[in-house]
Amino acid sequence: MRLLHTMLRVGELDRSIRFYTEILGMTLLRQKDYPEGKFTLAFLGYGDEKENTVLELTYNWDTSSYELGNAFGHLAIEVDDVYQATERIRLQGGKILRDAGPMNAGSTIIAFVEDPDGYQIELLATKP
């Protein structure tokens, strides 16, 4: 068994694809419209789906926003340098929720950013 993907519902597909590709450096792997169901699925990631867990963005054509609720926590992305990644995201217009620095009660370097729909993304330093 392996984890295939995580799905997020988004209010504006093109805006979300731009964020995940241009700001977070993912690749749009595939995208398909389902006219009968009135939705589009887009799969993005850092590598081929056969070998990597990816992100599925679901765009329901008749819904422009969602209430995120309080059960979902965040996505986590490993980066070489959290400080550099945070600054690059800031310069590209990304929203920084927590600047890079040691985690509370620990030494792991982390930061939090937010995607256009309000989902939180944790940046974690690559483990040596």
Q: Is residue 122 annotated as part of the catalytic site, yes or no?
A: yes
Q: Among the options 78, 87, 114, 122, which is catalytic? A: 122
| Distance, CA of 121 to CA of 58 (rounded, Å) | 17
Single-letter amino acid, residue 55: L
Residue pointed to by tokens 């926003």: 65
List C-alpha distances in Å: 59 to 7, 9, 24, 91, 122. 10, 6, 19, 27, 23
Query: Which residues have a catalytic role annotated?
Result: 122
